[in-house]
Amino acid sequence: MNAPAYNFAYLDEQTKRMIRRAILKAIAIPGYQVPFASREMPMPYGWGTGGVQVTAAILGPQDVLKVIDQGSDDTTNAISIRKFFAKTAGVATTTSTDDATVIQTRHRIPETSLHENQVLVYQVPIPEPLRFLEPRETETRRMHALAEYGLMHVKLYEDIARFGHIATAYAYPVKVNARYVMDPSPTPKFDNPKMDNCPALQLFGAGREKRIYAIPPYTQVVSLDFEDHPFEPYRFNAPCALCAAENSYLDEIVTDDKGSRMFVCSDTDYCEGRQAAGHHGSMSAAPYKEKAQGEANG
Amino acid sequence: MADQDLLETDQPLLVADSLSKSYGRIAACRDVSFSLYPGEVLAIVGESGSGKSTLLQLLSGQLAASGGQVSYRMRDGITRDLAALGEAERRLLFRTDWGFVHQDPAQGLRMAVSAGANVGERLMAVGWNHYGRIRESASDWLTRVEIDVARIDDAPRTYSGGMRQRLQIARNLVTGPRLVFMDEPTGGLDVSVQARLLDLLRNLVAELHLAVVIVTHDLAVARLLSHRVMVMKGGRVIETGLTDQVLDDPREPYTQLLVSSILPP
């Protein structure tokens, strides 16, 4: 009766072992999708059930967790996952990219470059990069096994034929370690170059599709392209309206119904850090009004 | 060079040796043997259920035979048993040195992607990585199969039946295969479209020096395209020979029946 309601980090130890085995296999074969017995989590599919299971399996009591959703630390998804682990594992949480040891992310890679003692956990909705071209799972598995990736270029070809350039802006397919073609989860293609030769371990969990895959540290990750239509990261041509950053990924925010808009960094921690360091954009509020959110939570 | 050409046409490309296939007690295909030479068109005719399509699947390595073997002379000149090839090799063969034209174009095409990508897919699969060149090659092939190049970016689902079939042929020929399998390529098309397609096929086959195994129940197709005919019934080859010989002077009663059942024009 007095048994604790939850094991450390919610999942029971046998489940964690099962997930860890899948993770180890995924690390051993970079980019390969390892099936695992995904559990029901106390949140709906599409809210990061895969990422949460991976995080739960690798989290230790000493870890410091950061959770971002589209680059932001303060959206519903990010806050509830952070609270979930604060409650079930009692680990420290942070919004600072530098201080975190485990970063769970949905749809972005932080702007601050990662270091060797970090693990980046991605939430993945559809792990199979060939899925929309080839609906049969048996067939896509065979294509991966035999490295038949001509079909992936068919998609890029279609983009150019229709739009004149490769219009795929997110979930842009990459080739990992010159072998497996992988879906980098719906991150903007702006983030693709950050995956290449990254010092941090990158883990991908897809809960509904029951797949885990990984990019070990310092692994080659190449975005697919054509010789005459090379890969180009996309970014709005504007500085951040709050911190004036010229090289970060921007969100477009519509500010009225007359066509006005502002562009701000999607990575809130990065933006706040820059503002604290004295950078100001064209629309930033007076400095006394906004204190960096990260310090309050940390 | 002349010697090489001679060698090239002198040895069989595809050899079937007492092939058989049974599904439980039903023998779909029994003891079929033949050799196919480069540039030769072989028609397999027979009624429904005579084992034509099973034979075609056995020959193209899509179905494992219960007995006998199929060997193919690869581009390097070495003849190999298809069953002994690894899956990767077999699939590579299938999308480079072979073609397979299905009766229903929807099976052989990707209906949702543009005609250009359909033709270019095989090129991309063998590592072409230059959009301009892939597109150039695709337009070239569309022209050769008499499809308006202006429709290169339309999906085949907007094409008519005859155009789809021609697109499927272009898609198969783009890698310069030496052997093409065809399963009732004119089935389901109206007579004038059939005639145009057959005419196109005949020209392409002669021009590209293709070896073709064509399965059909339409003797007119066999007469127009093929050099040799094999007549099948109940899973066995009952008669084989030059097309004119078999169709003008059929020996077996069944073949006589088949030939006489064509309505006079």
Cβ within 8 Å, pair A226-B129 = yes
B47 pLDDT band, cuts 50/70/90, is confident
With contact defined as beta carbons under 8 Å apart, do B204 and B173 qualify? yes
Residue A287's pLDDT is what?
52
The 3-class secondary structure across chain B, one letter per residue, is CHHHHHHHHHCCCEEEEEEEEEECCEEEEEEEEEEECCCCEEEEEECCCCCHHHHHHHHCCCCCCCEEEEEEECCCCCEEEHHHCCHHHHHHHHHHCEEEECCCHHHHCCCCCCHHHHHHHHHHHCCCCCHHHHHHHHHHHHHHCCCCHHHCCCCHHHCCHHHHHHHHHHHHHCCCCCEEEEECCCCCCCHHHHHHHHHHHHHHHHHHCCEEEEEECCHHHHHHHCCEEEEEECCEEEEEEEHHHHHHCCCCHHHHHHHHCCCCC
DSSP letter at A190? Answer: G
What ipTM was predicted for this assembly? Answer: 0.85
Residues A15-32 pLDDT 10s: 999 999 999 999 999 999
Residue A296's pLDDT is what?
46
Contacts with A161 from chain B: Cβ below 8 Å: 114, 116-117, 135, 152-153
What residues form DSSP beta bridges with A214? A203
Residue A270's pLDDT is what?
95
B262 pLDDT band, cuts 50/70/90, is confident
Contacts with B129 from chain A: Cβ below 8 Å: 153, 226-227
Cβ within 8 Å, pair B153-A154 = no
Residue B76's pLDDT is what?
87
Residue A285's pLDDT is what?
65
With contact defined as beta carbons under 8 Å apart, do B21 and B66 qualify? yes
- In which residue ranges of chain A is pLDDT below 50? 288, 294-298
Residue B87's pLDDT is what?
87
Average pLDDT score, chain A: 91
Cβ within 8 Å, pair B131-A158 = no
Q: Chain A interface residues facing chain B, Cβ-Cβ under 8 Å? A: 133, 142, 146, 148, 150-151, 153-154, 157-158, 160-162, 226-229
Q: Chain B interface residues facing chain A, Cβ-Cβ under 8 Å? A: 87-88, 91, 110, 113-114, 116-117, 120-122, 124-126, 129-132, 134-135, 152-153
- In terms of DSSP bridges, do strands A174-176 and A180-182 run parallel, antiparallel, or are they unpaired? antiparallel
Those residues whose C-beta lies under 8 Å from the C-beta of residue A2, and which sit 6 or more positions away, are none
Q: Choose, out of B87, B113, B131, the residue to mutate when testing the contact with A (most A CBs < 10 Å).
A: B131
Closest CA to B116 of B102, B95, B132: B132
Question: How far apart are the C-alpha atoms of B71 and B59, rounded to whole Å?
Answer: 9
Residues B68-117 pLDDT 10s: 999 999 988 889 999 888 888 899 998 899 999 999 999 999 998 999 99
Please identify which residue in the block is written with the tokens 């099962």: A18
Contacts with B124 from chain A: Cβ below 8 Å: 150-151, 153-154, 157
Cβ within 8 Å, pair A154-B152 = no
What does pTM read for this prediction?
Answer: 0.85
